Structure 1
Amino acid sequence: MTHSIPDYLKLHIEETPVLADFPTAAPDLLTTLSDALLQATGWSMQYLDHPDPTSSNAEETLDLSETQAAIIPVLDTVQQPIGQFVIHPGKSQQTGPAATTLTAAKQLASAIGGLISMLEQSRETVWKQEAELATGIPVTVRKDEETHLAARLESILRCGAEAVGCQAAAAYLLDDDTSYLKLRSCWGLPKQRLLDPPRPLQGASTDLEALVGHSVILKDPSCLPDWLSGENVQAAVCVPISSPTVPLGTLWILSDTARSFDHHESNLVEMVAGRISAELEREILLHQQVGVHQQERQWQHAMAWQENRLPKNPPLSNNWKIAAATHQAEHIGGDFYDWNLLADDSLAVVVGDACGSTIESALTATTVQASLRAQTDLLRQPGELLNHINRLLWTGCTGDQFASLFAAAIDQSTGKLQYTAVGEVGGILLRPTTARWLTGNPLALGTQETSDYETVVEQLAAGDTLVLFSEGLLAGHRQHDTKAIQEALVAFLRQLKDVPADEMVDALIQWGQTPDQSLSAEDHTVLVVQRAG
């Protein structure tokens, strides 16, 4: 049996546009160049854009059968031809200056072709960058726009419907599961329609056809969907509302008279759907922008709060100089330092590195800092202090808080140094002629229930420098082996032996950020104590 195709259903399928090539150099300039070369060399060098030497067009333009004719291709950055120079004797060559040889003309054409290639590359780069820069325009709220999205959507629907001579419009959007279509905005329909339950997408043939990218025209009332029953609608057109990658819903433009929609009207309705999509995406971007700004302010507050936990003013002493700095890879991090002047005039210094993600490490670092300041009496006994911190981390969490710590106490009168190092922190005792690495237990605090960290004793003589640092200082040099990194750091410190403590700290922080920026994206802390000679 033969089935006739009804005339009340029409599909408008939009053809994918063909992208245009980037336009090449101005032809007038090239013509002027060719004329100048003819006068200067006696050779005609004509530039052909996207040429085909075998085409009839090229043959009609030039006689390529001449024995002295030559073709010099002009290539782009990927070695694809964008044009060519065709060289042949000029008709007025005998009346011009001394004729250039064909070889020299070829070399000249090749050099000019290279300049044209560079020019085309620069122009194409600017062409693309200008389009990319358009994406950097901030999304802002206009002072004169409607205060609510609902009013703006209804205005768009009204303008779209009136533009094609219709009396109503409705925008249906998909739910998160793409199972239902819910009326989100309408014009010309009763407002109580917004209270209707969502329509199932399954079985909604017109909406399904539109969602795959087609404009569906219904010009017979008998094929209108059931949800339009009770409304004075005789014809309709349905188009998709979509972003460049995701279908969002469907737009219905409704007419109270039986009619069709031509190609231009369908395109206009699709433009209205695109305007709705742009308005929805803009609203989403505005909400995201507000959220990003709020989050950025919170990050700034957190960063300032964490920085304020670090000591700013070192103890005043004629024989001892102390300086420190922390560089967090993100807004906040797990690195910190501290110093304190104890009751017996001893100088206590600490460098810490908490493990975990950005927020986790910052919280762990805060916990350790608070515990250190609460146990001031233990600062002169670093081993006992770190045993206490280990118990705190082990019993106070579920096994997800770890920290590395270098704690030291220095007797300012005698130079006696007592220290304990646990985890990925280190120190260097830099003397005028030697350098000694100070290390400790490699297991971080919080990884074991019991601990018995020992206090190591050293002596800081006049002219000695104590450098403490977290493991992140060496991160940018991991392409080398451990011994090479240690030698490089000691050699760098030798260059800084006569500079003040604060300048040494700044130089070391800078050293930790080079040479490989991708490897140095870690928190790192440096603390320097110098005993005057």
Structure 2
Amino acid sequence: MLRELIDISQQEDFALGLSRISGLRVCTFDTDGRLIVAGGPISGFARLTGHTTPLIPAGVELVPVPAHDPPAAVAFIPNGGSWYIAAPVYCDDQKAGWVAVGEFREDGQAPSQLPDVLGLWNLLPLLDRRGTSHSVITARWGARLLAEWCRREARVSAATQEAALIGDVAELLTGRLELDAILDRIVADTARVMRCEFCSLRLYDPKTNELRIKAVYGLSKRYIGKGAIVRYESSIDDEALSGRMVYVEDAAQDPRIQYPEEMRREGIKSFLTAGLIYRGEPIGVLRVYTNRRQRFRRTQRHLLRAVAHQAAMAIVHARMLQERLRSAETERQLALASDLQARMMCVPAPERSGIVTARVYQPSFGLGGDFCDIFTLCDGRLTAVVADVVGKGIPASLLSSMVRGALYATAQGCDDLGELLNRLNRQICGETLPSEFVTLLVIAVDVERRLLGYASAGHEPLLLMRQGVVREYGNGGMVLGIDATETYREHRVELQTGDMILLYTDGLVEAMNFSGELFGRERLFAALREYGGLALDQVLQSILWDLRRFVGLAEQSDDVTMIGLRLV
């Protein structure tokens, strides 16, 4: 566990620093007692003999010592005529490893009568087993320090895992691609991001219990020609399909390998496997390989798990799209998706004193390309966003979901709206086709300071109504997804109590009646002035009602989305 939580380089720095302070040799060990880091020899005896304890024996006796803080016990470890004092490292009540200091001698236990060895051994400090001794205190202090680092890393690890699951790659990768193209993209991108020479993806058939290769990166035809693997004949794949990560550091020596000779010929030394699991059901396995022996870091394992989770969603959604084209279930599935999207648009906004919010979302085809939301930015400002992606229906909704997930992931660590759009634009440019783009307007309100920040990417202008006068704020940049070098910036506007802010998509002002006449901004401004004194949700509903009366029975081809905010 200590090896997993704290990088070896950091443990080496710890051992060196503690050794310099204490004048003792410092070593760290994993939970099972295996040596991780051994500091350089301090004594002439250690330099002559090269002795360092490679293992803390299982079941070693812990001797209680007077202590107000953990660990309240230490172990005394003999090693080739010298002794080490080891203190356990605990992380959330679980043993994470050990810190050991040495070397010491105990009278009557000289390892050799050779004059050189004996002389150097006599120079070692005597083993002092008292809890108040310098050596015991050093071991315990080092254990407490590593325990604190472990707890900190454990918290960061948990946060990393949560963040890794944000962003719906399933919807990102589905798009218009066929399933085979999706799988090829998954393995290529996974190998590239994780800096591995090879990657493979096998899909699982529960009827036959077989896993078959569906996409590879870097592997030879000879290697992938092994054919299907039966799940219960491969303990590695069985574990992965059960939801566990499987890590093989030395493929040449691991007894679980089914085809060791083929792996040797391919040059595979280490690999990491994650199951593709969707709502508890196994879909397949995703595996990355290296041509050098490698210890996969904790962050790499989290990344592969997240990619596998999202890839499972991508595969399932791609299959669903294929089935919808051939099945009478199409309308029912679209209705479910439309309901889900509508519920996502209607998630309650964060409650904030001094400001009220309301929203309207009306897709033109059940599934829409608009999205809107109200959430809290990382700097505490109340944030609202409306966006409109190119296209209609299912493709637009999938692209919308991808942008939505990418926006939330980016917004977690960004408090400047211009930089938020810069990062989002680069991601969209890198992950969509040139014909896929997004208009977006995002605002952030500092209620206490009465200050509005906004940034726009080719979107309809922000409207601010104050004392019956409607103002437009349209400064912004190009739509997202066209030019990765485009620069956006946040603009500021001072607010007053009673100000009403309106964000909307072009489906509102570009709606047409049977005569081909647009609803237009002038009608929108007039509606704002007419209904501005009503409660905020009634203002939006009244605008929507005016729009419906204007277009009548004319079929509309675009979604209508509005968000309103008012300072009170």
| TM-score bracket, shorter-length normalisation | 0.3 to 0.5
Scaled by the length of structure 2, the TM-score of the pair is 0.40
Scaled by the length of structure 1, the TM-score of the pair is 0.43
Larger Rg: 1
